[in-house]
Amino acid sequence: MKIFIDTAKLEEIEEAYSLGILDGVTTNPSLIKKIVDELKEKGEKVDMESYITDILKAAKGTPVSLEVIGTSYEDMVKEGKKLFERFNPVADNVVIKIPVNPSTEDGSENVFDGIKAVKELSDAGIPVNCTLIFTPEQALMAAKAGAKFVSPFAGRVDDFIRANNKIEFEKTDYFPVEGIEKDGKVLDDNGVVSGIDLVSQCVEVLGNYGFETEVIAASIRNPRQAREAALAGAGIATLPFDVIKGLLAHSKTAEGMKKFVGDVIEEYNVLFK
Instruction: Write the DSSP string, 98-118.
Output: EES---SSTT-GGGGHHHHHH
Active site residue 97: yes
The single residue among 122, 194, 201, 238 that binds ligand G3P, judged by CB under 6 A, is 238
The distance of closest approach from Cβ of residue 8 to ligand G3P in the complex, given in angstroms and rounded to an integer, is 10
The single residue among 135, 201, 219, 222 that binds ligand G3P, judged by CB under 6 A, is 219
* Nearer residue to ligand G3P within complex by CB, 120 or 151: 151
The distance of closest approach from Cβ of residue 169 to ligand G3P in the complex, given in angstroms and rounded to an integer, is 13
Considering the rule CB under 6 A, would residue 156 count as an interface residue with ligand G3P? yes
Considering the rule CB under 6 A, would residue 138 count as an interface residue with ligand G3P? no
The single residue among 3, 5, 28, 96 that binds ligand G3P, judged by CB under 6 A, is 28
The distance of closest approach from Cβ of residue 91 to ligand G3P in the complex, given in angstroms and rounded to an integer, is 21
> Do strands 64-67 and 24-26 pair parallel, antiparallel, or not at all (unpaired)?
parallel
Instruction: Write the DSSP string, 162-229.
Output: HHHTT----TT----TT--EETTEE--BTTB-SHHHHHHHHHHHHHHTT--PEEEEBS--SHHHHHHH
CB atoms within 10 A of CB 77: 23
Stretch that binds ligand G3P, among 23-31, 85-93, 118-126, 184-192 (CB under 6 A): 23-31
The distance of closest approach from Cβ of residue 254 to ligand G3P in the complex, given in angstroms and rounded to an integer, is 27
Considering the rule CB under 6 A, would residue 6 count as an interface residue with ligand G3P? yes
Shortest CA distance to 232 belongs to which of 200, 198, 192?
200
Identify the sign of the CA torsion 43, 48, 49, 53.
positive
Considering the rule CB under 6 A, would residue 218 count as an interface residue with ligand G3P? yes
Chain-centre distance of CA 271, in angstroms?
A: 44
The catalytic residue positions are 97
* Residues of this chain that bind ligand G3P (CB under 6 A): 6, 26, 28, 31, 153, 155-156, 218-219, 221, 238
